[in-house]
Amino acid sequence: MSPSSHTIIIGILFIGIGIYHFVNPGFFLRIMPDYIPNHKAMVFWSGVAEVLGGIGVLIPFTKTYAAWGLILLLVAVFPANIDMFLKAYQKQGWTLYTFITLLRLPLQFVLIYWVYWSAELKIG
């Protein structure tokens, strides 16, 4: 599959997950780190960013900007993924859920690279 085919998958994925922020905000509110203020607004705006980024990577004129935006978003939410793992481990010890939250950490870097590669971004 070509990078542009992957961009379509990424666009659909982010649009879907972004919409899920509005359909089931409680899911995202539960995993929001305590140190982040205004949880409801953050869930709303991160959903907006995911939908717009997903749409943006599907439009050739905006693909580069949208891909960089999605990469920044993935970097920004990484501390929340760490927090999710730490909370799961502290509350439950090693369970399947804890293990999944641990696996989610390196997956973030895979997602970042996938967006970078599929949009054919260049640094420098």
Q: What is the pLDDT of residue 64?
A: 94
Q: What is the pLDDT of residue 120?
A: 84
Q: What is the pLDDT of residue 5?
A: 85
Q: What is the pLDDT of residue 89?
A: 94
d(CA 48, CA 59): 17
Q: What is the pLDDT of residue 1?
A: 75
Between the alpha carbon of residue 60 and those of residues 38, 55, 57, 80, 100, the distances in Å are 34, 10, 7, 31, 35
d(CA 19, CA 21): 5
Torsion of CA 29, 30, 31, 37, to 10 degrees: 50
Tell if the pTM clears 0.85, that is, is over it.
Answer: yes
* pLDDT beneath 70: ranges in the chain: 124
Q: What is the pLDDT of residue 4?
A: 80
